[in-house]
Amino acid sequence: MRAFFDARSVLEVETPLLCSSTITDPAITPIASGERWLQTSPEYAMKRLLAAGSGPIYQICKAFRGAEAGARHNPEFTLLEWYRPGFSLSELMQEVAELVQAVLGDGPVEMLSYRELFERSLGLDPLTVGCDELEAFARERLDYSGGAETRDTWLDLLLTHLVEPGLSGRVFVYDYPASQAALARLRKDGEVTLAERFELYVDGVELANGYFELTDPGEQRARFEADNRALETRGELPRPLDEHLLAALQAGLPECAGVALGLDRLLMLKLGAERLEQVLSFDWSRC
Amino acid sequence: MATFSTNEFRSGLKVMLDGDPCSIIENEFVKPGKGQAFNRVKLRNLKSGRVWERTFKSGESLEGADVMDRTMEYLYSDGEFWHFMEPDTYEQYQADKDAVGESAQWLKEGDRCEVTLYNDSPLAVVAANFVELEIVETDPGVKGDTASGGSKPATLSTGAVVKVPLFLSQGEIIRIDTRSGEYVGRGKS
C-alpha cells in the first residue's frame, strides 16, 4: 500500500491522535480521554496540512468511535485516508478502484448514483419520496421499534437492512442526498441538490467514503453549528468546534478530493472473513 | 428489574417486549459510516415460541425479564397440571399444558429436566436431551434381526410413539434423543 502511494508521489504524514476538539457529526460518538478527544478520523488535521501547502498526502492511523461494536465495527480501528489536490471526485474514485484492485485483484467495478441504487433495489426514488411514504415502505418490510423518524433515518434503515445485503462485487455509490453530505460540497442538479460524496461497497461491505471537499469556511462553520443544534435537541452536549480547521479553511484549502478507507475491513475482504474479529488480534469484547 | 441498552444485548439475555418475556438469540450492529446506527435483533418469544427479527435504534433500552432456567425433578401429572420440584429447596411448582407442551411425552417421574420460570411460575419445560423409557406396546420382536435395518412403531410408557428396530420387544427400556424424537439405543437400566 505504501508502494502504491510512493509510486504516485503521495506523501505519508502522521497527525496527533489526541486532539483539543472533535467531530460534531451527531451520528458519531467521539471518545474523550482526559481533557482531549481521541480522533474519529484524521480529516481535520490533514486538511490543515493541505491548507499549509503539503500537496497530496496519505495517512495510515488508528481512529476511535464509541458505541460502534459488531461484525463490521470495532471502536478502535485502522483507517487509510488520503487527499488529492486538483482531483475531481471521479478521478479519486478511479484511484480508489486501482488501490482496491492492487489488494484484492482484478474485478469489475460498477458505478451507481444513490438514486439509481434505491430505484434498482427497492423501486423508490430516495430524493423525492415523502417521509410518510418511506415510513410505510419500511414498516411493511421490517419490524422497527422506533416511532417517527427523519427521512435520513428511514433511508439509513432501508439502506442497511434491504439494500446493502443485496450488493455484490465492487460498487461505487455517488451523488448522495444533500442532507447526507457530511463534509462534501453540494451541487445543484436541476430540481435537486446533491452531495459530491461517494461510498465504495465491496460485496455489501462499506469500505470507503470520499468527498469533493468543502472549502468554504462560512459553510463549514454553519454545518458544525447545525450539528451541535441537533445534538442539543437530542439532549446531548454540544461539542467544541475545531477552530484550527476553520482558520485553515479561512487561509485557503486547495480544491481537493479526499477519501477514508477501513483497512480492517479491507483485510477482512482479502481473507474472505465474515467478521472483523477474525482479522483483529483482540477485538472489543476481548481487549 | 434492570434495563438493558442495545450495546448490552447479547445472546441469552431475557428481556420484556410487547408485554411478553423474550430471549435474545442474535444481536447485530449495523451502521452506515455517516448515518444512524441500528441493532438488528433476533428474538424468541418465550411464551409463544415465535422467533422473529426486530430492529432497534442503537441506544434504546429494554426492561429485563424475570426469567430463570432451573433444573428440577419431575414428580407427577394430575391430568391438568404437571408437578416439578427443585431438588435443593424441595420447593414445588406446577406447570400447565402450554408450558409443558411437546415435552410432556418425554417426562418420566423422577427424571431431571429444565424448567424456565417467569415471575416465579413455569413458562416452559424442556426434557433432558436423552431419556430412557419402557416400551409398553409393539409388534413382537424378531429374534436375531439386528442387521436388516427395518423399523416398527413402539408406544412408550409416557404415551410417546417412536420408531424402533425390529429386534426390540415389549418391556424393554430404550434410550431416546428428545430433540429429534429418535431411538438411539437400548437403555442401561
Q: Which of B83, B101, B127 delimits the end of a domain?
A: B127
ipTM higher than threshold 0.90? yes
Q: Are residues B117 and B134 in the same domain?
A: no
Question: Would you say A131 and A139 are in contact if contact means Cβ atoms under 8 Å apart?
Answer: no
Q: Is the pLDDT of residue B144 over 70?
A: no
Q: Which of B63, B94, B109 delimits the end of a domain?
A: B63
Q: Are residues B92 and B122 in the same domain?
A: yes
CA closest to A153 among chain B residues: B36
Cα first-last separation, chain A: 27
Q: Which of B11, B34, B63 delimits the end of a domain?
A: B63
**A17-73 pLDDT per residue, tens:** 999 999 999 999 999 999 999 999 999 999 999 999 999 999 999 999 998 999 999
**A151-177 pLDDT per residue, tens:** 999 999 999 999 999 999 999 999 999
Q: Indicate the pLDDT class of residue B188, thresholds 50, 70 and 90.
A: confident
Instruction: Tell me how many domains chain B contains.
Output: 3
Q: Indicate the pLDDT class of residue A143, thresholds 50, 70 and 90.
A: very high
In this structure, the number of other CB atoms found within 10 A of the CB of residue A72 comes to 22
The per-residue pLDDT of chain A, averaged, comes to 96
Interface test with chain A among B5, B24, B31, B52, by most A beta carbons within 10 Å: B31
Contacting residues for A286 by C-beta, under 8 A, at least 6 apart: A277
Q: Are residues B40 and B83 in the same domain?
A: no
Q: Are residues B83 and B123 in the same domain?
A: yes
What's the whole-number mean pLDDT along residues B158-176?
Answer: 93
Cα first-last separation, chain B: 45
**B33-61 pLDDT per residue, tens:** 899 999 999 999 998 889 999 999 999 99
Q: Are residues B58 and B77 in the same domain?
A: no
Place of cell 501547502: A53
Task: Give the pLDDT of residue B145.
Answer: 62
* Candidates A69, A146, A180; nearest CB to B35: A180
Please tell me the least confidently modeled range out of A243-252, B18-27, B149-158: B149-158
In this structure, the number of other CB atoms found within 10 A of the CB of residue A130 comes to 9
Contacts of B59 in chain A (CB under 8 A): 67
What CATH number did the domain enclosing B80 receive?
2.40.50.140
Contacting residues for A9 by C-beta, under 8 A, at least 6 apart: A56
Closest-CA distance of chain A to residue B82, Å: 36
Q: Indicate the pLDDT class of residue B148, thresholds 50, 70 and 90.
A: low
A83 φψ region: left (φ > 0), alpha (ψ -120 to 50), beta (else): beta
What percent of chain B is modeled with pLDDT above 90?
A: 83
* Candidates A145, A159, A209; nearest CB to B56: A145
What is the span of the domain harbouring residue B123? 67-127
Task: Give the pLDDT of residue B146.
Answer: 64
Q: Which three cell numbers stand for residue B172?
A: 424393554
Cα atoms in the 13 Å half-sphere on the side-chain side of A73:
19
Q: Are residues B33 and B53 in the same domain?
A: yes
**A207-264 pLDDT per residue, tens:** 999 999 999 999 999 999 999 999 999 999 999 999 999 999 999 999 999 999 999 9
A159, amino acid identity = L
User: Which structural domains are found in chain A, ordered by start?
Assistant: 2-107+217-286 (3.30.930.10)
Q: Is the pLDDT of residue B189 over 90?
A: no
Contacts of A198 in chain B (CB under 8 A): none
Check A157 against B52: CB less than 8 A apart.
no
pTM (2 decimals)?
0.85
Q: Is the pLDDT of residue A77 over 80?
A: yes
Distance set, CA A16 to CA A38, A74, A187 (Å): 9, 20, 33
Check B7 against A145: CB less than 8 A apart.
no
Contacts 24+ apart (CB under 8 A), A104-111: A104/A202, A104/A266, A104/A269, A104/A270, A107/A169, A107/A170, A108/A169, A108/A170, A109/A169, A109/A170, A109/A171, A109/A172, A110/A169, A110/A170, A110/A171, A110/A172, A111/A171, A111/A172, A111/A174
**B117-133 pLDDT per residue, tens:** 999 999 999 999 999 99
What CATH number did the domain enclosing B54 receive?
2.30.30.30
